[in-house]
Copies of this chain bind each other. A is one copy, B any other.
Amino acid sequence: MRIDGRQPDELRPVKIITPYSKHAEGSVWIEVGDTKVLCTATLEERVPPFMKGQGKGWITAEYAMLPRATQTRNQRESVKGKLSGRTMEIQRLIGRALRSVVDLEKLGERTITLDCDVIQADGGTRTTSITGAFVAMTLAIHKLCKEKPLAVFPVRDFLASVSVGVVAGVPMLDLKYEEDSSAKVDMNVVMTGSGKFVELQGTGEEAPFSREELDRLLGLGELGVNRMIELQKEALGPVAELIGSDKARC
């Protein structure tokens, strides 16, 4: 039995509120247990310099935590004057993951920036950010599509993410903070709606893991991602049907 009474293969309660923001082109307030993240998608009719003239769009992400999202206060990165390695690692991961399911040519020369701001943290902030950002991004593209019809809806597949890990010798799904802190193995799994891997980041700093443990973690990851995708579908409503289909009638 886990610290909060869950089964090893059980997710925490998930809440996806959308739209949340008055200003953003797409926005999602996502809660996974006590982890709360606001994901906003900003669409701009331009691409960064290194992408210019290629007829392709760009998807990028930024990630941050409010200073008191955590048990003790973290100094702001704006005050430190630089991003930490952890922040950069996470936002590169989010951007890469989202790009893997979008047809950038069909998006056209536009940039979508996903801001994932952690309002409260209790484990799994990067995986929650990916799951929420996918919905915010899809909503922003849908808004674009309604205003400037696109030939094809450029989101090719669903995408969600969960954390898995080995805690006290037991492989578990969706670690909360106390579990994450004591996990020997920690893995983030990002998968598509069609069951393929987009990102796999496993680390056994505390204790190397065997092939067998890896296989069990991958199984839990697949299970969790599938459940997350169901919740994304509910949140997206009819927009969900556009994903991966030929229909671009937004």
A residues whose Cβ falls under 8 Å from a Cβ of B? 21-24, 27, 34, 38, 40, 42, 44, 62, 64, 66-71, 73, 76-89, 91-92, 96, 99-101, 113, 115, 117, 119-120, 122, 157, 187, 191-192, 194-211, 214, 218
Contact = CB atoms under 8 A, between A and B. Distances in A.
A23 B100 contact: no
Contacts of A195: 210-211
Where chain A touches its partner, the secondary structure class is mixed
Contacts of A21: 68, 120
B69 A23 contact: yes
Contacts of A197: 202, 204, 208-211, 214
B85 A205 contact: no
A113 B66 CA distance: 13
A196 B208 contact: yes
A133 B119 CA distance: 17
Contacts of A79: 62, 83
Contact of A119 (B38, B96, B120): B38
Contacts of A192: 208
Contacts of A81: 81-82
Contacts of A78: 64, 76-78, 80, 82-83, 87
A7 B79 CA distance: 40
A89 B201 CA distance: 12
Contact of A88 (B23, B76, B85, B218): B85
A140 to B, nearest CB: 11
Contacts of A200: 187, 200-203, 214
A120 B22 contact: yes
A115 B66 contact: yes
Nearest to A71: B23
Nearest to A34: B22
Q: Which 5 A-B pairs have the closest CB atoms?
A: A85-B88, A196-B208, A77-B78, A40-B68, A78-B78
A99 B67 contact: no
Contacts of A34: 22
B196 A23 contact: no
A67 B73 contact: no
User: Quick one: which of A89, A99, A122, A203 has the most chain B CB within 10 A?
Assistant: A203
A202 B205 contact: no
A196 B218 contact: no
A61 to B, nearest CB: 11
